[in-house]
Structure 1
């Protein structure tokens, strides 16, 4: 399998970037959902958010690479059995997923740096605050982060259901192409 996409199949680079991002986003959502109910005395009260922030920063790098890869490496052509509305809705859904993921990551960054502090990424490196201290930023960014992450989950579920529909009902290669099996 080639690294680059062809007219009929995704290359291994696009497949790996897709699945790394998908699994990471689901894991970050699950961790975020779980950690909001932690009490101050829970041993994970500080460690959970530190992991969430660190993985989120690393995901930003993966998504930046993924977006650049997508911009310079066209996706395979739609399959012949795909209806026009399916192709258009898939393009809109993919665009919204990219947008929402970047909104979630940027708003998460703003929550963590609203007081002027840096984000320590697994103690490997620091990402400094770009805003300094801004009153109320944490609350506004928190609301944006909350709603954008829920929108990602809903849209990703619809995306996955669409892939399953193509695989189980239409019996075409849509899902197989993203699994590298076509």
Structure 2
């Protein structure tokens, strides 16, 4: 399998990063959903947010890499069987997913750093606050984070359903190209 994308197939880097981001997004969403129900006395009350923030910062780095990689490695051409509306909606969905990912990650960062503190990423390195203390920022950022993450999960679900539709109903190679199998 080739490293870079070709006109007909995704390369191994794009495939691995795509599935890594998908796994991280759904894992973070599940962890975030779990965290909001924790009480102060729960053993995960402090540990779960630390894990969530650390993975979120690492995801930010991976998504930045993904954007750069995508600019340097254009995606394969649409399949000839794809209609114009499918191609346009796929481009819009991908663009919106990128925007929502950055909105969710930046708002999550702002929630955590609104008091001026930094974020420790698995005790490997610290990401400092760029805003200092901003009263009420965590509330606004929290609302943005909540709605953007729900939007990501819904849109990613639609994205997955579209890939399954192409695979099962259209019997084309849309899904196979992102799995790295077949042409």
TM-score (norm 1): 0.99
Other-structure match for 1:154: 154
Other-structure match for 1:100: 100
1:47 pairs with 2:51: no
1:120 pairs with 2:123: no
Q: CA deviation at 1:24?
A: 0.5
Other-structure match for 2:10: 10
Deviations 1:122-169 (A, max 9, x none): 001100000000011000000000000000000000000000000000
Other-structure match for 1:177: 177
Q: CA deviation at 1:81?
A: 0.3
SS of the residue aligned with 1:120?
Answer: strand
SS of the residue aligned with 1:109?
Answer: helix
Deviations 1:42-99 (A, max 9, x none): 0000000000000000000000000000111100000010000000000000000000
Other-structure match for 2:73: 73
Separation (CA, whole Å) in 2 of partners of 1:33 and 1:7: 39
Other-structure match for 1:25: 25
RMSD of the alignment, in Å? 0.4
Aligned length: 182
Gaps of 5+ in 1: none
SS of the residue aligned with 2:60?
Answer: helix
Separation (CA, whole Å) in 2 of partners of 1:3 and 1:103: 29
SS of the residue aligned with 2:115?
Answer: coil
Separation (CA, whole Å) in 2 of partners of 1:7 and 1:37: 47
SS of the residue aligned with 1:86?
Answer: helix
Other-structure match for 1:82: 82
SS of the residue aligned with 1:40?
Answer: coil
Other-structure match for 1:35: 35
TM-score (norm 2): 0.99
Q: Which runs of at least 4 in structure 1 moved beyond 2 Å after TM superposition?
A: none
Separation (CA, whole Å) in 2 of partners of 1:32 and 1:120: 18
